[in-house]
Amino acid sequence: MIEIRFHGRGGQGAWTAVQILARAAIREGMYVQSFPEFGPEREGAPIRAYARISKEPIRIHCGIYNPDIVVVLDHTLLKSVPVTSGLKENGALVLNIPEKYLEQYIDKMKGPHDIWFLDATSLAVKILGRGITNTAMLGALLKAREVIPLKTMLETTREIFLERFSEEIARKNIELIKEAYKEVKKVE
């Protein structure tokens, strides 16, 4: 079983990201749980969202304290949120952060896990015209750990965005995921 924690701010789409992830995993015949951090959600306030993905039925019903993967949608969260808390050894930390800030925040990121980074905000602004990074970070996540195949993620994203929005928005988000998957880098 793989446990994933997303850090974001209210309104950045962390909850949508884990829902896309859950539906994609079900499409792969896997078992999932996904849940937001339960509490009042306020735009801009730090929030967390969680996912469990497993080949076996999932029975456990408590919080996730030791994730295998942590995804951070906004590097400014590093100032106030201990994002590596409980992250497993050999886990992965996947961040939306411009390369030039890596040095500045490295102390808040390092540990016995690997670190992946991507300037997802710039990429999202370029492709979507808005700095919404949740789908981009799903692409980055899959490069860091292939929890499900990229193809399945793209199909599911298309399905969900067609349900909720439009053909154009679906197409742009798919492009964004593909680009993010290509561009994310590992800190050596």
Partner 1 sequence: MMLALNGDEAVAYAVKQSNVDVIAAFPITPQTIIVEKLSEYVANGELKAYYACAESEHSAISMIVGASAAGARTFTATSANGLALMHEILYIVSSLRLPVVMAIVNRALSGPINIHTDHGDSMAERDACWIQIYCEDAQEAYDTVIQAFRIGENHKVLLPVMVMLDGFLISHTTQNVDVLEDEKVSNFVKHRIPAEIEVFGKKVPLTLNPENEVPLTFGPLDLWDYYFEHKRQQEDAMEKSREVIRKVHDEYAKISGRSYGNGFIETYNMDSAEYAFICLSSTAGTVKSLIDKLISKGDDKLGLVRIRTFRPFPYEELPKALEGVKGVAVLDRSGAFGAMGGPVYNEVRSALYDSDVHPFINGYIYGLGGRDMTMEMLKSIYDDLVETVKSGKPKRKIEFVGVRE
Compute, in degrees rounded to 10, the torsion defined by CA atoms 154, 158, 159, 164: 140
Three-class secondary structure of residue 97 per DSSP: coil
Check residue 1 and report its DSSP letter.
-
> Least CB distance from residue 33 to partner 1, whole Å?
5
Residue from the set 42, 55, 58, 186 that interacts with partner 1 by CB under 8 A: 58
Name the segment binding partner 1 (CB under 8 A); options: 58-66, 98-106, 118-126, 173-181.
Answer: 58-66
Q: CA separation (Å) from 43 to 32, 57, 102, 125?
A: 27, 34, 26, 20
Residue from the set 16, 34, 135, 173 that interacts with partner 1 by CB under 8 A: 34
User: φ and ψ at 111, to 5 degrees?
Assistant: 170, -175
12 near partner 1, rule: CB under 8 A? no
19: nearest Cα among 115, 124, 157? 157
Q: Name the region of 166 (left: φ>0; alpha: ψ -120 to 50; beta: rest).
A: beta
> Least CB distance from residue 149 to partner 1, whole Å?
17
163 near partner 1, rule: CB under 8 A? no
10 near partner 1, rule: CB under 8 A? no
> Least CB distance from residue 30 to partner 1, whole Å?
8
> Least CB distance from residue 48 to partner 1, whole Å?
13
The secondary structure element, H or E, covering residue 141 is helix 134-144
Name the segment binding partner 1 (CB under 8 A); options: 4-12, 35-43, 74-82, 106-114.
Answer: 35-43
Chain residues binding partner 1 by CB under 8 A are 19, 22-23, 26, 31-36, 38, 57-63, 65
